[in-house]
């Protein structure tokens, strides 16, 4: 299986072209072009600052950066999943034209949003400078949640894009689940002190995204790391999801091509 996964490197030229195509299609007709990758997290941040910070008065220290460090990974997860679900059906004409490993279509959708995600990370720089947040050695751990987040999202994207060919309702279900998950993930609240102690273990074990966001926060803001056991579980779940997603995808590939 590993050999098959690595086969994708023969197709790196194609992956590059397809990602560039998505960027072109997406931004060609947009007046503000790339600014949109920044506008989305910023506007959501301001809305949440207003609702959570001012109306509910539940703000924490450096609330803007706190929100951003949850929102930016969330927006990547949200948009890559909701868009990659349609990645196979949306490219039916390509699939019927020529053979290539079809997971490339899902991969390029996730990669496209990952590039947006990397660009929006730059948004932290002005905030860190203005709010004079101290950068500590913890920033060196930033690649860890970034890798885990990618594997987690790609694994799920593979599964959903595949199921969506059989049942088109998948797209709706995914979008609905994402809306629920937004509230179940510590984007505008913190886990410590907010999640009841009895639920703590269940919450962090069942929601890898919570741990991933906590890791982001400790890397960027120097807040406390989640317990090692949760980091371990989350990494394991993400890697397993990636392999399971790949396995499911490959097993269904032939049938998917015929049904499209």
Partner 1 sequence: MSMNVIELKNVGIKFKIARSKASRFKDIAYRIFKGNKSSVEQIHTFKEFWAISNISFTLKKGEALGIIGRNGAGKSTLLRVIAGIYSPDEGECKVQGNIGLLQLGVGFHHELSGRDNIYISAAILGLKKGEIDRIYDDIVEFSELGDFIDMPIKVYSSGMVARLGFSISMHLKPDILLVDEVLAVGDEDFKRKSRQKIGEFREMGKTIIMVSHNIRELKTLCERTIFLENGRIGFDGSTADAEKLYMERIAEKKQRRKALREIRKMENSL
DSSP 30: -
Q: Which of 17, 136, 172, 229 binds partner 1 (CB under 8 A)?
A: 17
| Binding of partner 1 by 258 (CB under 8 A) | yes
DSSP 224: P
| Binding of partner 1 by 197 (CB under 8 A) | no
Contact 66, 221 (CB under 8 A): yes
For tokens 């995808």, name the residue.
249
CB atoms under 10 Å from CB of 166, counted, come to: 12
Q: For partner 1, which stretch binds (CB under 8 A), given 23-31, 54-62, 196-204, 221-229?
A: 23-31
CB of 91 to partner 1, least distance (A): 9
Q: Which of 7, 16, 175, 179 binds partner 1 (CB under 8 A)?
A: 16
Nearest alpha carbon to residue 21 among 89, 115, 159, 154? 115
| Tokens found for residue 41 | 């997290």
Q: Which is nearer to partner 1, 10 or 179 (CB)?
A: 10
Rounded Cα–Cα distance for residues 260 and 257 (Å): 5
Contact 76, 127 (CB under 8 A): no
Q: Which is nearer to partner 1, 17 or 229 (CB)?
A: 17
Residue count (the chain)? 260
CB of 99 to partner 1, least distance (A): 4
| Binding of partner 1 by 194 (CB under 8 A) | no
Q: Which of 8, 94, 139, 248 binds partner 1 (CB under 8 A)?
A: 94
Q: Which residues bind partner 1 (CB under 8 A)?
A: 11, 13-14, 16-18, 21, 24-25, 28-29, 93-100, 167, 254-255, 257-258
């Amino acid at each position: 299986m590993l050999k098959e996964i690595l086969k994708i490197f023969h197709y790196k030229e194609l992956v590059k072209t397809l990602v560039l195509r998505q960027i072109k299609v997406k931004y060609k007709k947009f007046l503000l072009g790339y600014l949109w990758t920044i506008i989305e997290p910023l506007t959501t941040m301001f809305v949440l600052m207003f609702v959570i910070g001012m109306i509910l008065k539940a703000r924490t220290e450096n609330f803007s950066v706190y929100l951003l460090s949850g929102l930016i990974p969330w927006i990547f997860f949200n948009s890559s999943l909701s868009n990659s679900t349609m990645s196979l059906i949306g490219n039916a004409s390509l699939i019927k034209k020529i053979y290539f490993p079809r997971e490339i279509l899902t991969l390029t959708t996730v990669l496209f949003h990952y590039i947006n995600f990397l660009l929006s990370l730059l948004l932290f720089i002005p905030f860190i400078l203005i709010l004079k947040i101290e950068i500590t050695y913890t920033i060196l751990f930033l690649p860890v949640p970034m890798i885990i987040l990618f594997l987690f999202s790609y694994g799920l994207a593979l599964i959903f894009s595949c199921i969506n060919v059989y049942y088109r309702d998948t797209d709706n279900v995914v979008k609905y689940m994402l809306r629920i998950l937004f509230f179940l993930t510590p984007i505008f609240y913190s886990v410590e002190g907010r999640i009841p102690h009895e639920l703590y273990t269940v919450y962090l074990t069942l929601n890898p995204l919570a741990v991933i966001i906590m890791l982001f926060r400790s890397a960027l803001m120097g807040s406390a790391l989640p317990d090692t056991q949760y980091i371990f579980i989350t990494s394991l779940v993400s890697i397993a999801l990636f392999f399971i997603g790949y396995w499911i995808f490959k097993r269904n590939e032939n049938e998917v091509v015929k049904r499209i």
